[in-house]
Amino acid sequence: VLAAPYHHTAAEVAAALGTDPQAGLGAAAVMRQRATHGHNRLAAAPPPATWRRVAVQFRSTLVVLLLIAAMVSAGLWLLDRQTPAPYEAIAILAVVLLNAAMGYWQQARAEQAVAALQRMAAPHATVLRDGTRVSIDVTELVPGDLMLVEEGGSVSADARLLRASGLQMAEAALTGESLPVMKDPAAIAGEAAVGDQANMLFSGTSATQGHGVAVVTATGMATELGRIATLLQAAPQAATPLQRELDRTGRLIGYIVIAIAVVMIGVILLAQPAQDLRGIVAVFILAVALAVAAVPEGLPTVVTAVLSIGVQRMARRHAIVRRLAAVETLGSATVIASDKTGTLTRNEMTVRRIVLAGGAVEIGGSGYGPDGEFGVATGGVLDTALREDTHRLLTAASRASNATLSEQDGQWRVQGDPTEGALLAAAGKAGLGAAVLAGRFQRLAEVPFTSERKLMTVVDAEIDGAAPAVAFTKGAPEILLACCTLEWAGGATRPLTEARRAAILAANAMLAGQALRSLGIACRPLPQGFAPGQPVNASMEQELTFLGLVGMIDPPREEARTAVALARQAGIRPVMITGDHPLTAARIAAELGIVGTGRVLTGADLQAMSDTALDQAVPGVSVFARVSPEHKLRIVQALQRGGETVAMTGDGVNDAPALKAADIGIAMGITGTDVSKAAADIVLADDNFASIVAAVEQGRAIFANIRKFLRYLLSSNIGEVMTMFLGVLLAGVIGLQGPADGGLTLPLLATQILWINLVTDGAPALALGLDPAGAGVMARPPRPKGESVITPAMWRGIMLVGAIMAVGTLLVLDASLPGGLIEGKGDLTHGRTMAFATLALFQLFNVFNARSDHESAFRGLFSNLWLWGAVLLSFGLSAVAIYLPFMQQAFSTSSLSGSDWLLCTGVASSVLWLREAGKLWSRRGPQSAAAPPPGNEQTKGHGHA
């Protein structure tokens, strides 16, 4: 097979493949080719086994810590057996399994990208073999087969065109080109991108007009589609910022747990060496209790649950999340790299300008609907003569068409060539819809478009027979103009002078400079008596009357312009990456506000650049045009190397590798291919760029809420660790005496701490994840990529709150036991129950502190009613552990009196008042003028959760 078939003539390619250009391959040749090249299918990697999908749920550092704690706890229970069952181990394992189940079901859909690529191929292909036309399964195609392509048919392998008649191919899904591409069998000199290889047909594309014969040059993974499949499989699936941050936090907690356990064990064994196995077991039980206190067991489950809730919220904003951790990542995006066609634009060709002899006319509206106003380009309304000339041109343009428009579910859609659809829509805006003209004209004949002539002509006659038949012609302006001798102006014809020809060509160049695709329109009255069936040929495309030029474009979405502005306000840089023409890309980018007159890089420019040169160029370029799939991937990777968090949007096959490699891949739900959807993290249900910005807002709110419950859970756990640590070290001071055999007495049992972590803390932490977004969430820039989820300021607040909790809990314990600093009368069970109740209440008061490190807890106090419900639920569950007899046995608690509760509540409320005083001081200090860190603001509104 020739390396670059588009460089060679059709005859050379056929000869190289051993194919008869008229009869195709013989049976023996087909067998030889199949033995060499295999079947025409894409290689698919086997889907991951179920056990692998389950195992991935246990890779988090926090989950590993929990599993280690559960195993150690179970081992110590086997040695000691002080309780009927290993409650700590069972509870921890239950949490781990619940988190794994939630993660598995949220992310259960395996990668379907390659399978979707296979589904894009047509099931059958029509070929010539041994001179006979046969229909075969597409997997049976081999290099050298002669493939017949008809209008509306799909192509199932890459092929070199041998013969064509008006063949146009829709290649948007592969190249990003918004318009069908006219195909021409002529050889191409020099290098050409996929979108510019006019003599090649590509697997996964379809014919919108005409027909042709092509010789297959590549099948399976050797096709352009197969090359993309290879890129897609090779593109790494990077961890999201949230996954990386939580893993880093998990490692930090692990180090803290190990350090505390080692220090405590060392101090105890040095101060009071263990004499027997029971003493050693007691020390290790303390280590497990400290581990249980330090590790926030509920954190993985709460993160998963909050992200799941975020998925539901995003779905209401038309963003369907396929990968759970992507919810937060979108809120961290610093760049949105967007495809143009169908994403920033409507993917609907629209006539914007008509150039007539009497002036230029602007047409409003967009898409294929019949709504839009006409006006003079220089301002003002159309006079009668200009209006009549406009109607004459639109009548001719509409009749010289084979497309149809139809309304479905309130949306106007085109069947056929989008360019012809745009002409029909423009005529409809002038009141010359297809039904109106069909009631006036009947078609007598047609001279179809060919790539050689670049013209199309139809012959119509008025139904009432009042006027002779007329030929309506449209085509490339420079070709059509050479066929014209007259010009229509002001309701009459006049000779077409050389000066006027030059002026028309200048106007055509002006339309091209505005990135408008132009067509020329002309007509010619035919001799009286022309009848259906009368021979027609290209000779009637002579001595035409030139009517004018039509300029059209795939217009930008109106809402996309607003969304781009909002993205910029939020500190997010929009970048356009498209396979379309540079002029068109620059024009759309300028209209949307993505770029003014900035530099545009093309695929050819990128091909000549090293990665280093590209890294230097991307910060200053916002528009990339005529790019291939590899180029899109390189751009995304260059942005990432520059420290950007990249959200990549797209809808075509050619977008899939970049979608997968980006930090967050966003596919279009309506116009997107199955391939792009399968490779993406998020799918937009409405294909609306504005929905991306709405999803960014939701992602930022989710991250702010993650910070809130991290602040809450970690401060609570630090309080527990300090309580255990100081309680053991100061046991003699606070009256916490050990048993007679010299063993250790803990201020709280591991089961009691576990109950607080999982039950008391769980519901409030989850409710913090339901806080509504703050008013200024989109007024701040994205958080820096290297910034930790927990900032130094947050750590200071966490440590302060933990210290307050530990001191208050130990004082209540001291006051509940004989001896110590404060004389009490209760036994050890009563004292531990008082400490258990105080620590639980501390955390319920602390949840209101956790909503902000800066704003008062009383600001927007009732904006999240879920939080109040969670606090009441957690209080009730704590009471259950204290009062129900079987729970008293399991958790070693005893009933408390009303005065006991008053003491516990009064001491526990101190965390709220002390933090309020600290926040007030910080707001009045020198730093008060600075904005609080992103994600730490208290919700100011009173919206629902």
Quote the CA–CA distance of 920 and 889 in Å, as a whole number: 44
In order, the DSSP letters of 525-571 are EPPTT--TT----GGGSSSEEEEEEEEEE-PBPHHHHHHHHHHHHTT
| Residue in the block written with tokens 């014919």 | 207
- For residue 644, give every residue at least 6 positions away whose Cβ sits within 8 Å of its Cβ, in sequence order, or none: 334, 335, 573, 785
Contact 636, 662 (CB under 8 A): yes
Quote the CA–CA distance of 728 and 809 in Å, as a whole number: 13
Strands 517-525 and 470-475: antiparallel
Angle at 547 between CA 543 and CA 549, to 5 degrees: 120
Give me the phi and psi of 359, to 5 degrees please.
145, 180
Give me the phi and psi of 713, to 5 degrees please.
-65, -45
- For residue 617, give every residue at least 6 positions away whose Cβ sits within 8 Å of its Cβ, in sequence order, or none: 601, 609
Q: What is the DSSP letter of 238?
A: P
Quote the CA–CA distance of 438 and 606 in Å, as a whole number: 50
Q: How far is CA 355 from the centre of its chain?
A: 41
Catalytic residues: 339
Helices (H), 401-518: 418-429, 434-438, 477-482, 498-513
Q: What is the DSSP letter of 170?
A: E
Sign of the dihedral defined by the CA atoms of residues 859, 864, 867, 873, in that order: positive
Give me the phi and psi of 135, to 5 degrees please.
-105, 125
Residue 287 Cα distances to 72, 266, 725, 746, 795, angstroms: 10, 11, 10, 11, 24
Q: Which residues of 147-176 are buried (b: 16+ CB within 10 A; e: fewer)?
A: bbbebebbbbbbbbbbebebbbbbbbbbbb
Contact 194, 202 (CB under 8 A): yes
CA-based end-to-end distance of the chain: 62
Residue type present at position 40: N
Quote the CA–CA distance of 300 and 101 in Å, as a whole number: 12
- 3-state SS of 330-395 is HHCCCEEEECCCCCCECCCCEEEEEEECCEEEEECCCCCCCCCCEEECCCCCCCHHHHHHHHHHHH
Give me the residues paired with residue 575 across strands. Answer: 337
Residue 885 Cα distances to 602, 798, 835, 889, 893, angstroms: 76, 35, 19, 6, 9
- 3-state SS of 174-206 is HHCCCCCEECCCCCCCCCCCHHHCCCEECCCCE
Residue 202 Cα distances to 194, 219, 243, angstroms: 9, 10, 39
